[in-house]
């Protein structure tokens, strides 16, 4: 499974600059390509030093990292839900993403005009939310009308749906996002087919000027934090301008030196990817052999058969067992044979819960 994030934001907040920085990111090795599969979709590899460790030990023919797709969601302006800007063109893309990256302008620059006439992170955030909420209300109202008709004929399932849909409708009409509703399993089942936009998890990216990146924020970031504190959402502070410069650098040492000048240990992109994994409760496991060392993404709490299924559905259907090695043991003993001799290879069954960083080999029979 790959992670797919949609980048949204008003005009002149730095959304396009950030997306372009991601699109131009220089790979650190030929094994880690960046590609653009559509004009508004970029695919970038997830940085993970554990891959390099395994590569050094196993010396495979190739290394395959896991990926993140970033989708530039165009057309979100005030009135988009009524056809302003690019109108409904953003809907198809945004419904398909796993998470929303909401870029908010947190810098002042007289040369870059703000659509509202002044920098106001709370206003920017609310404009986007309102457009998405209006679209969700449209979806809710259409289904609610159908469910109400069925409920009148005595359909028990429809009656439950009416209750749940009405809860979401009231919540949205009060200016709240669907994700903040204390929804029951029945509620979530009622809206599952609607792919609500505001039910998707969100990360706020505070785009600051170069001077503010060293202090991890400014008064605008503080205002954004205050405005979204009830959502318990993550805020990642980045400077799209700095990210644009980092994206052009191919030499890792040059990149490290540049980051050091701003007091940074890693790029905003890396922090954003890590925040996205945390938000969606994702972890990484590895497979390692002479042909290939590869990273795989699964949900935290997934059991071994589900992890096997990420490689191929047959692996899950015919799962017999998983052989699991910890990275520290690979580093110490160097080969699978020596790991087995030392009794450090665990043999796990269907109930084994995969741990972040596990190196796994699956036995199956179909």
287 among the known binding-site residues? no
Tell me: is residue 263 an annotated ligand-binding position: no
> Would the annotation count 260 as a binding residue?
no
For the chain, the 3-state helix, strand and coil shares in percent, each to the nearest 5, are: 45, 20, 35
Sheet containing 3-8: order of strands: 35-38, 41-45, 67-72, 3-8, 99-105, 202-207, 234-238
Q: Is 15 annotated as a binding residue?
A: yes
Gap between the Cα atoms of 167 and 149, Å rounded: 18
Question: Residue 85 annotated as binding?
Answer: no
Sequential DSSP letters for 134-176: HHHHHHHHHHHHHHHHHHHTT-HHHHHHHHHHHHHHHHHHTT-
The residue written with tokens 């009524």 in the block is 82
- Nearest partner of 101 among 170, 13, 187, 192, judged by Cα: 13
Nearest alpha carbon to residue 80 among 175, 10, 171, 156 = 10
3-state secondary structure of 106: coil
Rounded-to-integer distance, Cα 146 and Cα 143, Å: 5
* 3 close to 98: Cβ distance less than 8 angstroms: yes
16 is an annotated ligand-binding site residue = yes
What is the C-alpha separation between 312 and 170, in angstroms, rounded? Answer: 42
Q: Measure the CA angle with vertex 183, ends 198 and 229; round to 5°.
A: 55
Distance CA 228, CA 213 (A): 20
Of 228, 240, 276, nearest in space to 105 by CA = 240
Q: Which residues are annotated as a binding site?
A: 12-17
Q: Which residues are annotated as a binding site for ATP?
A: 12-17
């Amino acid at each position: 499974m790959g992670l797919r994030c949609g980048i949204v934001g008003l005009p002149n907040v730095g959304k396009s600059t950030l997306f372009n920085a991601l699109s131009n990111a220089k790979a650190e090795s030929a094994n880690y390509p960046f590609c653009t599969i559509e004009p508004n979709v970029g695919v970038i590899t997830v940085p993970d030093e554990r891959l390099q460790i395994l590569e050094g030990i196993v010396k495979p023919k190739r290394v395959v990292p896991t990926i993140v797709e970033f989708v530039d969601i165009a057309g979100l302006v005030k009135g988009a839900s009524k056809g302003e800007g690019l109108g409904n063109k953003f809907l198809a893309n945004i419904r398909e993403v796993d998470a929303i990256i909401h870029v908010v302008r947190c810098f002042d620059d007289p040369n870059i005009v703000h659509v509202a006439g002044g920098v106001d992170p709370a206003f920017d955030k609310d404009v986007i939310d309102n457009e998405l909420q209006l679209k969700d209300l449209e979806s809710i109202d259409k289904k609610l009308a159908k469910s109400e008709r069925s409920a009148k004929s005595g359909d028990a399932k429809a009656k439950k749906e009416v209750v749940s849909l009405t809860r979401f409708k009231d919540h949205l009409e009060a200016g709240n996002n669907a994700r903040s509703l204390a929804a029951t399993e029945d509620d979530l089942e009622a809206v599952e087919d609607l792919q609500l936009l505001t039910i998707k998890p969100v990360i706020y990216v505070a785009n600051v000027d170069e001077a503010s990146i060293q202090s991890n924020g400014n008064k605008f970031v503080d205002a954004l934090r205050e405005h979204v504190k009830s959502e318990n959402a993550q805020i990642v502070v980045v400077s799209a301008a700095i990210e644009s410069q980092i994206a052009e650098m191919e030499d890792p040492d040059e990149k490290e030196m540049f980051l050091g000048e701003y007091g940074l240990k890693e790029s905003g992109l890396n922090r954003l990817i890590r925040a996205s994994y945390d938000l969606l409760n994702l972890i990484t496991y590895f497979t390692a052999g002479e042909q290939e060392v590869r990273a795989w993404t699964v949900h935290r709490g997934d059991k071994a058969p589900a992890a096997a299924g990420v490689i191929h559905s047959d692996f899950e259907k015919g799962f017999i067992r998983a052989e699991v090695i910890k990275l520290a043991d690979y580093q110490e003993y160097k080969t699978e044979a020596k790991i087995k001799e030392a009794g450090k290879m665990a043999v796990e069954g269907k109930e084994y819960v995969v741990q972040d960083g596990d190196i796994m080999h699956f036995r199956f029979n179909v």
